[in-house]
Amino acid sequence: MYVATLISGPGALDGALVDSLRNAWGGGDVVWLSVDEAAEFNMPQVPGNRWDVWGDLQGQGVDLVVQPVAGRRKKMLLADMDSTMIQQECIDELAAEAGVGDRVADITARAMNGELNFEAAIDERVGLLAGLDAGVIQQVLETRIDLMPGGPVLLATMKANGAYAALVSGGFTAFTAAVAGQLGFDENRANTLLIEAGKLTGQVQRPILGRQAKVEALEDITARLGIAEADVMAVGDGANDLGMLGRAGTGVALHAKPSVQAECDVRVNHGDLTALLFVQGYGRADFVTPGG
């Protein structure tokens, strides 16, 4: 049995649209996970025109996810940080403070789209930060970094239901530690910026955490927890996330680069991070508010 989930921004999902698709695909009763925002229905097989319909719905501001019903609720969240759990790319924000923002942002965009080798790109970008006062890191954290909408509820809800959460980033530990602590991740992994005499050296500690390191994190953590990779929901937006997105039970391309979306069956372009809860079958009534 399969389930089709339709997700939009709050108040933007038309009931008539949901009913029309359910009827066309021979689905069962519609279940509203959140009024005018997320709905789903079961069906016996994956429709042959799935991606044509997906494309049509994108034009209407609606995401469509089709997946097996069995095993959809996950025991672990494995998340990228930059442009996934936060709205910015940390290295771009540091570069802006160093006066090389445009040069670094261009390299970042090309690397995340898979046009450049990730390790070489990070070396080139960090090299442009040489001599920057290390205190700027905290300044950037306090003034330039914003959480992605829906992230706190995603973490709180999954953890309240027994899931483990790991933040794995090609960015930097100075940022992942702060973001992980704020959101409630159980652990975080990232690269370490080298600092001498209070200034960035322009180098990154080896080995560089890139695409393969994220896959290794998936392998290591699932083995440690005694769960299957199928029990994991991974989320990311860049080319260096594709390894873990492909291995996880559910790999979510969140507001991702086109080249990344093309390789993922679960694509969220219109919802926020709470869409990952709807994909797992949680309704808004099931959401947990941090500290609530």
Active-site residues, by number, are 80, 82
DSSP state of 39: E
CA dihedral sign, ordered 174, 105, 212, 157:
positive
Task: Give CA–CA dist 190/175, Å, rounded.
Answer: 9
Question: How far, in Å, are 128, 207, 240 from residue 123 at the CA level?
Answer: 9, 12, 15
Collapse the DSSP code of 240 into the 3-class scheme (helix H, G, I; strand E, B; otherwise coil) and give the result. Answer: helix
Question: How far, in Å, are 42, 43, 229 from residue 26 at the CA level?
Answer: 9, 7, 31
Instruction: Look up residue 230 and give its two tokens.
Output: 């199928």
Task: Give CA–CA dist 242/4, Å, rounded.
Answer: 23
Task: Identify each DSSP E strand in 173-249 by its residue range.
Answer: 187-191, 193-196, 199-204, 232-236
DSSP assignment of 216-281: HHHHHHHHHHT--GGGEEEEE-SGGGHHHHHHSSEEEEES--HHHHTT-SEEESSS-TTHHHHHTT
In terms of DSSP bridges, do strands 187-191 and 62-68 run parallel, antiparallel, or are they unpaired?
unpaired
DSSP assignment of 60-95: TTEEEEEEESTT-S-SEEEE--TTTTBSS-HHHHHH
Judge contact between 215 and 151, C-beta under 8 A: no
Judge contact between 176 and 81, C-beta under 8 A: yes
